[in-house]
Structure 1
Amino acid sequence: MLPSFLLKALKWPVSLTVKSKLVPQDPLKELRIDPAKPIVYAFKTASASDVLAVRRACFALGLPDPTEPLRLNGQSLPRSLFLDKPVALLTRRRRHGNFRDDITRLLSVLRDNKDQDIQLLPVSLFWGRQPGHENPSLLGSMLSDYDSPSWLRKMVVVALYGRDNFIRFARPVSLRNLLDDRVTSDDGLAHKLARVARVHFSRQRLVMTGPRLPDRESMLAALLKTDPMRSAIEDEARTRKEAYAQAEKRAAQYLDEIAAKFSPGFVRMLDRLLTWIWNRIYNGIQVTNAEVVRQLAHDGHEIVYVPCHRSHMDYLLLSYVIYQQGMVPPHIAAGVNLNFFPAGPMFRRGGAFFIRRSFKGNKLYSTVFREYLYSLFQKGYSVKYFTEGGRSRTGRLLPPKTGMLAMTVQSLLRSSERPITLVPVYIGYEHVMEVGSYLKELRGNSKEKESGWQAFKSSIQALRQDFGQGYVNFGQPIPLGQYLSETVPNWRQSTDNPDAKPSWLTPLVNRLGDEVLTRINDAAALNGVTLTALSLLCAERRALSREVLESQLDLLLILAKEAPYSAQMTVPEQNGKALLAQTLNSDKFLVSQDGLGDLVSLDETQAIAMTYYRNNILHLYMLPSLVARMLLAAPRSQSQLAEQVQALYPLLKAELFMGLSEASLADHVQAVLTSLAHQGLVTEENGRWQACGVQRPGYRKLSLLAGVAEESLQRYAIVLTLLRSPEPLGRAELENRAQAVAERLSALFGIQAPEFFDKKLIASLTSTLRDAQLVELGEQSELLPTDKALALDELVLTLLSNEVADTIRNVLCKDGLCS
């Protein structure tokens, strides 16, 4: 134990100068620490300031005091174990602490008491989270808390970084379990535990601070001398018929344009600024599944974050959350359009590296960028890029851009020593500040160019708004090596030539891109704004009484819990009434009163904006909506329901990046039916399911639920009916005519969704037809419907209202396209 007089002397100075953040924020719950069992703490260094900082955190958590001995079976045992002592003032030589001797004492006590257990709880402290430099200066060494610093170095570090201290608790280790697994002496186990603890603390530091920082200029100069770069520069010089030095200068300019200039000091300053901003504009940021990512980083994985892209806020919010969760912020691939003053230099110091929209025709730039990305992986930096390529203007996920994924796979091919893992991330908001500009762009307005003035103006406006809640859900990771082994078993035999492009690479990254987006959607977060938007947009006049809306929200919440779309999705804990009361404070919905009570509604402008939030969660309720729609049309057996859902699923899966496997559809349909039956909305009689009667209260709720699938089914009906044209259509003609019919339908029935007749969405649908075996190619590449397509068209038309179905048929016949 540390001397008691030292702890008493430093108690008040530490309490006044040190402010700690816990990682994770609720260690008892997330790490399953049992306060009822004896606990012993394991520290890297015997530091009084470390122990006192942890002591304050333990008091707040209800954990035992690390400065007091553990009293067990009448014995006084050490409560805190230390691997090392601080280095002497004038030397760097490591001095071992009491860890091995004290752990041996604890194990001996447990051998004598077979029913007793002790939890060994590792605790790491990080002051300022300085990663250090590969070639540190004398001042840098003084300000670093690496290598068990001396009392003088620690005093300087605490004085400078006392308000920026992170305490990282790790999962406790049961000494009883370790002891029961061994039959040899305790000393051997103590020696092994000391080795494991040393590796653990080293990895924890790497997770928290990242690798030591290289000198930027030296790193870029070294990159220019790699074999792939030399070869690309030679090719450039040969192609342009210029000197090697001139081509090399151009490559150096590309590198300088691309490369980040990461600054831990700037990140700390940004952390404080963003904490103030988030507290001002958000009512909270909910983070889910971060411990899985921390464990991957601890296990030595190179992490590549692949989030969805809703807003420019994504850049800052995700990096902030990662930093707050005890991991080093990633290097971020940012569009070169953001490299404007003053944002560009700031982003660069925060870890951003810049990428051009297209590499086409510029082999040298492509090589430079690929080598820089590979160097980040080699040095152990985590990376973040948006696989959609740009921000979604509709709230739906965009088809993946696979260039960065391909370069990530190629990096793994060159060096597979350290595993690379993709971590999909769902980012959700109750308010997206760019929604207004997105709607203007969808109406045909040109995109406003980013500039310093625009960024400043947007920032000032943002500080005056209430953004509600923010959501960051880490999805199910994709270990890249494992994914390759399952998809391309012989991938390790591929050449390590960085310019090589195996024949399997393009189809693999196409599937991988879809898988990433699917797992992002699996981790979706439900919230009051998205659920209310979904409900009101299904109402005929976009208005519902408050009681009906509360009841509809209850239905959606219960469905999400009883028939969950995925295990990774998150659901609000409130009931419909409480959730609606919270949501209406956002001023996104109109609330009026009549003699019967409150009405909640959307005007035309609000309705268009709300489609963005609805589209965030559309995939979660698409299958329950189909089931409701089928039962409202006619009674069906469960097997018929499953079969018809399966027939439509390939189109829905491609459109919405849905992750349910076709094999699990029948089980999901059964879960939906069970949940609807519990709520009195459907009944089963003689093996056939049917909707409740029109006079029952549940009929309205079922009808509103059925409205979720309306627009998708209308698009499918348009395209499938067009395939019946007497004169077969080519793909381009099919898409143009489908868009025209969709525009007509939108005007006739007041469909507010801007993407309803979006050409890209229709093009995505037509590209799925062949994969789903709904069309065959004719001699002139025209699309010919299969029997499966004709049957699906009949099914879809029966699921639409008679008015809509007749309108589709009539519009097509009027244009001479019906058979």
Structure 2
Amino acid sequence: MLKYLGLDRPFLLLARKLLFSVVRTHVLSDSPSNLGLDPTRPVVYVLQRRFLSNILVLDREVSAAGLKSPLDGLAANGVRENRAFFFTSRGEPWFGRSNKAGYSPRLQRLSEAVRNHPDFDVQLVPVTILWGRTPDKESSIWKLIFSESWSPRGPLQQFFTILLHGRQTLVRFGQPVSLKELTHDAEDSERAVRKVARVLRVHFRQQREMAIGPDLSHRRTQVEGILETESVKAAIAALAKENGGGYTAEQKAQEKARRYAWEIAADYSYPVVRVFHRFLTWVWTRLYDGVELSNFDTVTGMAPDHEVVYVPCHRSHIDYLLLSYIVYQQGLMIPHIAAGANLNLPIVGGILRRGGAFFLRRSFKGNPLYGAVFNEYLHMVIARGNPIEYFVEGGRSRTGRLLQPRPGMLAMTVQSYLRDSNRPIVFIPVYIGYEKLFEGRSYVGELMGKPKQKESLFNLILSIRELKKNFGKVHVNFGEPIKLAEVLSESHPDWKQEPPLDEQRPAWFTQSVRQLGQKIADGLNSAAVANPVNLVSLALLATPRHAMDEDQLVAQLDGYRKLLSAVPYAERAQLTAMDGRAMVEHCEKLRLIQRHPHALGDVMHFYPEDAVLCSYMRNNVLHCVALPALIACLFSRNASLSREQLGNLTRTVYPFLRAELFLRWQPEELDSALDAYLDALVQMGWLATSSGREGIYHAPNMNADEYAQLNLLGQAVRPALVRYFISLSVLTQQGSGTVSTDELEALCHLLAQRLSLLREFNAPEFFDRAIFRTFISTLKQAGLAGENEAGKLTFNGAVRSAAAESRYVLPPDVRQSVLHLTRLDRGTVEQALSRLAAKGKA
């Protein structure tokens, strides 16, 4: 080691000046001043690699935080040290071949002092410093030799690393650890030192793995390793046998498996990631006014000890680029991303693959060889500790609502964990909320019946023109971690004793995957961010002409903020800090709403082409107001209701709302949530209670502003209630055992589409078939409907009772319109279904 410790201050000042002429540091997580250090106990910092540059970086960051410099040493309880830091390595070779063995003399002296002085303790603060980041790859060692890696580095290599990567220096301060607590149970000083060194080595290894990932082999090695696994060999043999057997058939099957593996596997390249980072920094600056990040400490708290699976909601192609960018920016390794094979475009596919994407086909049903190869690749990625990312919804939401979780990737992840559960898996839901959507126009077209636009290089080039537009802010919120082991134990306590899975997956496995998907969906919704565009869309779309007096709109927005502040949807849910007036101004700047000047007060309304698009933004947070909106809907039709009536009516509708919007409350939690919202609405003046009649609630006077505000809140869920009434009316009109599930879904879709044309429910998502599919599925799960041997839907009297209760929530004219539309004879029904079938075939 250089004898810098004996040199005077002028040398260190000169060295610091030279170093920071080329170095820019980025402190991740907490700065030294926010670590909660005890001022009565001395602090000693721990560094991993023994370089003067590391000490100068440490000294600068500690001094910048207003704390005592580690170069000033420590003196306490008769213990003196001329420096308040030490290294876990004794020395660094010039060319990175080996480290000297042994422990830091300062650590040995401090451990002995702690053992000999009962009143003396030291706070150890491990500090990770990374000079550029990259995993090892056999194919590009000359490019990567001077980046941060797992191999030892000598002073000469460190010199070039500083020159090349000094501006990408990451610093992370770990939480302080008591040296006395670490060593109190050690039998002697030697064992105490070994224990501390072991704890510190584990910490630095975890921090390095979080930032640069585990060692990666070349892609070719990965592919060949996959072909050598037992499951892939068995699939190859099965395909060869199916094709007649023999050497030639086996060689063809093996080559096919190899092509599959090359088609799937990522080809992570750190230089490409660096280019991506710079490019995306420029893109976000052009597209957005900023990216607001919440609760990222969720990830940093889990990453050292867990295999992290990011499960974001899927609203846009921007999602996976944005999430990888944020993770990289926060100093962690970017995840390997499961991307659809439709994105494996010429040129683009290769770039995405080098950025960590691996590709999968939409379905491998009927192709056991592909399934075996993909399963083995995913298991390899998970077993190596690489974070991964995929979308449980399968595809992008076209309505703004969360889609039903797809079991495919979840099942394969659970299956991989059951094979090897040494490293626990944690799922991190990530809510991504936009103020304007990049693909908004195409979504509206698809909902209106246009075919889905295929991804192509040409369309990607055309999308460059969108960079001229302003898309507002993006909000990214990390939800509550979901530990896979806990989900399995909750669903099937004896899962560890179960035999290895075979092709026939047991019922407990399917149930566990379904429960995991539900928890992820709940976690995504619980991390929702109610931004200004969401709330303005919620208010304006509740009006017949999507227009409101400015002061009325401001009051409505302030009411929504007050309601969501009084009863937050979930602990991690976020709410804009803007008041109603600021929200209106913000949406004006985004050109989402426009002002119509008028002598009696300006009128705010959507641009004609944006009203339907804003229904998407409303739906992003519809679940946050669904329960109070249902209450409001009830009181817009009933002047007063008892608490018992409210509970009964809410319990009738709640299972369907919960299934459609993934509401977080279990049935047994509904009453407490209902009481909280009732109290909030009373406090706001949107409801009232009788002074002498406990448990009776009243709507405001119909001429009062509060009644108008309550009625607008209720409009948020009224389209959903109309859809439910359509489904129940069609089912009861046609009779038990008359129509199948598919036929009922198709009829409901047609009738909702027609009602939309007649009554201006002009958002295409009003007649989305997927919503009717969910409703019918919930009817079956609730035991209100079933299927007979012919595949026709049967139902009991409870369905008719549920349909009759619509009088409590729907205006008479709406009910009458629905009843009129649903009075169809069997001939009309069959004719409509045949036309729909012919259209589908075409």
Q: TM-score, normalised by structure 1?
A: 0.93
Q: Does 1:389 align with 2:397?
A: no
User: Are 1:35 and 1:63, in contact at CA under 8 Å, matched by a contact in 2?
Assistant: no
**Aligned twin of 1:240:** 243
Q: Distance in 2 between matches of 1:151 and 1:189?
A: 31
User: Are 1:716 and 1:796, in contact at CA under 8 Å, matched by a contact in 2?
Assistant: no
Per-residue deviation at 1:423? 1.8
2:519 partner letter: E
**Aligned twin of 1:576:** 580
The alignment partner of 1:473 has SS state of strand
Bigger shift: 569-578 or 339-348? 569-578
The alignment partner of 1:202 has SS state of helix
Q: Does 1:810 align with 2:816?
A: no
Structure 1 alignment gaps of length 5 or more: none
**Aligned twin of 1:360:** 365
Q: Does 1:251 align with 2:261?
A: no
Structure 2 alignment gaps of length 5 or more: 829-842
2:26 partner letter: K
The superposition leaves residues 648-707 of structure 1 with CA deviations (integer Å, 9 ceiling, x where unpaired) of 111011111222111211111111112112222212211211122223332222111111
In the TM superposition, what are the counterparts of 1:361-440 in structure 2 within 5 Å?
361-440=366-445
Per-residue deviation at 1:290? 1.8
The alignment partner of 2:48 has SS state of strand
Q: Distance in 1 between matches of 2:772 and 2:734?
A: 21
**Aligned twin of 2:833:** none
Per-residue deviation at 1:454? 1.6
Partner of residue 272 from structure 2, selected from 266, 270, 285: 266
Q: Distance in 2 between matches of 1:119 and 1:583?
A: 50
The alignment partner of 2:292 has SS state of strand
Q: Does 1:791 align with 2:801?
A: yes
Partner of residue 616 from structure 1, selected from 620, 624, 632: 620
The superposition leaves residues 85-109 of structure 1 with CA deviations (integer Å, 9 ceiling, x where unpaired) of 4313265133533452364377479
Bigger shift: 646-655 or 740-749? 740-749
Structure 1 583/187 Cα, relative in aligned 2: closer, same or farther at 3 Å? farther
User: Are 2:91 and 2:99, in contact at CA under 8 Å, matched by a contact in 1?
Assistant: no
Partner of residue 484 from structure 1, selected from 467, 477, 488: 488
**Aligned twin of 1:767:** 777
1:311 partner letter: S
User: Are 2:343 and 2:349, in contact at CA under 8 Å, matched by a contact in 1?
Assistant: yes
The superposition leaves residues 280-319 of structure 1 with CA deviations (integer Å, 9 ceiling, x where unpaired) of 32222122222222222211x1112111111110120011
Per-residue deviation at 1:274? 1.2
Q: Distance in 2 between matches of 1:66 and 1:273?
A: 38
Per-residue deviation at 1:60? 4.6
Q: Distance in 1 between matches of 2:167 and 2:597?
A: 51
The superposition leaves residues 777-801 of structure 1 with CA deviations (integer Å, 9 ceiling, x where unpaired) of 4565443443433332222332111
Per-residue deviation at 1:188? 5.9
Q: Does 1:294 align with 2:300?
A: yes
Q: Distance in 1 between matches of 2:763 and 2:66?
A: 52
Per-residue deviation at 1:145? 5.4
Q: Distance in 2 between matches of 1:527 and 1:651?
A: 26
Partner of residue 100 from structure 2, selected from 89, 94, 97: 94
**Aligned twin of 1:447:** 452
User: Are 1:118 and 1:176, in contact at CA under 8 Å, matched by a contact in 2?
Assistant: yes
**Aligned twin of 1:15:** 20
Q: Distance in 1 between matches of 2:504 and 2:25?
A: 49
**Aligned twin of 1:112:** 119
Per-residue deviation at 1:193? 2.8
Structure 1 754/11 Cα, relative in aligned 2: closer, same or farther at 3 Å? same
Bigger shift: 240-249 or 155-164? 240-249
Structure 1 614/362 Cα, relative in aligned 2: closer, same or farther at 3 Å? same
**Aligned twin of 2:508:** 504
Partner of residue 345 from structure 1, selected from 350, 353, 356: 350
Q: Distance in 2 between matches of 1:549 and 1:86?
A: 68
**Aligned twin of 1:159:** 163
2:61 partner letter: A
1:201 partner letter: F
Bigger shift: 186-195 or 118-127? 186-195
Partner of residue 278 from structure 1, selected from 271, 277, 284: 284
User: Are 2:24 and 2:167, in contact at CA under 8 Å, matched by a contact in 1?
Assistant: yes
Per-residue deviation at 1:713? 0.5
Structure 1 532/107 Cα, relative in aligned 2: closer, same or farther at 3 Å? farther
User: Are 1:330 and 1:383, in contact at CA under 8 Å, matched by a contact in 2?
Assistant: yes
**Aligned twin of 1:214:** 217
Structure 1 576/35 Cα, relative in aligned 2: closer, same or farther at 3 Å? farther
Bigger shift: 691-700 or 654-663? 691-700
Q: Distance in 2 between matches of 1:341 and 1:552?
A: 50
Structure 1 105/783 Cα, relative in aligned 2: closer, same or farther at 3 Å? same
Per-residue deviation at 1:717? 1.1
1:256 partner letter: W
Per-residue deviation at 1:212? 0.8
User: Are 1:473 and 1:525, in contact at CA under 8 Å, matched by a contact in 2?
Assistant: yes
**Aligned twin of 1:755:** 765
**Aligned twin of 2:834:** none
User: Are 1:370 and 1:407, in contact at CA under 8 Å, matched by a contact in 2?
Assistant: yes
Q: Does 1:192 align with 2:195?
A: yes
The alignment partner of 1:450 has SS state of coil
The superposition leaves residues 180-199 of structure 1 with CA deviations (integer Å, 9 ceiling, x where unpaired) of x7798887655533321111
Partner of residue 226 from structure 2, selected from 223, 227, 245: 223
User: Are 1:99 and 1:194, in contact at CA under 8 Å, matched by a contact in 2?
Assistant: no
User: Are 1:633 and 1:799, in contact at CA under 8 Å, matched by a contact in 2?
Assistant: yes
Partner of residue 717 from structure 1, selected from 715, 722, 725: 725
Between Structure 1 and Structure 2, how many residues are aligned? 811
1:403 partner letter: G
Q: Distance in 2 between matches of 1:28 and 1:704?
A: 48
**Aligned twin of 2:73:** 69
Q: Distance in 2 between matches of 1:446 and 1:139?
A: 45
Q: Distance in 2 between matches of 1:356 and 1:690?
A: 55
Q: Distance in 2 between matches of 1:813 and 1:64?
A: 82
Per-residue deviation at 1:18? 0.9
Per-residue deviation at 1:500? 5.6
Q: Distance in 1 between matches of 2:40 and 2:806?
A: 59
**Aligned twin of 1:332:** 337
Q: Distance in 2 between matches of 1:312 and 1:103?
A: 54
User: Are 1:145 and 1:153, in contact at CA under 8 Å, matched by a contact in 2?
Assistant: no
1:306 partner letter: V
**Aligned twin of 1:739:** 749
Q: Distance in 1 between matches of 2:649 and 2:38?
A: 50
User: Are 1:332 and 1:351, in contact at CA under 8 Å, matched by a contact in 2?
Assistant: yes
Bigger shift: 430-439 or 220-229? 220-229
Q: Distance in 2 between matches of 1:61 and 1:695?
A: 59
Structure 1 73/627 Cα, relative in aligned 2: closer, same or farther at 3 Å? farther
**Aligned twin of 1:323:** 328
The alignment partner of 1:387 has SS state of coil
The alignment partner of 1:770 has SS state of helix
What is the RMSD of the two structures over their aligned residues, measured on CA atoms?
Answer: 2.8
User: Identity of paired residues, percent?
Assistant: 36
Structure 1 399/146 Cα, relative in aligned 2: closer, same or farther at 3 Å? closer
Q: Distance in 1 between matches of 2:224 and 2:502?
A: 19
User: Are 1:267 and 1:350, in contact at CA under 8 Å, matched by a contact in 2?
Assistant: yes
2:135 partner letter: P
User: Are 1:262 and 1:351, in contact at CA under 8 Å, matched by a contact in 2?
Assistant: yes
Bigger shift: 594-603 or 9-18? 594-603
The alignment partner of 1:333 has SS state of strand
Per-residue deviation at 1:33? 6.0
1:12 partner letter: K
The alignment partner of 1:708 has SS state of coil
Q: Distance in 2 between matches of 1:783 and 1:32?
A: 63
User: Are 1:485 and 1:491, in contact at CA under 8 Å, matched by a contact in 2?
Assistant: yes
Q: Does 1:669 align with 2:669?
A: no
Bigger shift: 370-379 or 444-453? 444-453
Q: TM-score, normalised by structure 2?
A: 0.90
User: Are 1:145 and 1:154, in contact at CA under 8 Å, matched by a contact in 2?
Assistant: no
Q: Distance in 2 between matches of 1:279 and 1:135?
A: 34
Per-residue deviation at 1:134? 7.1
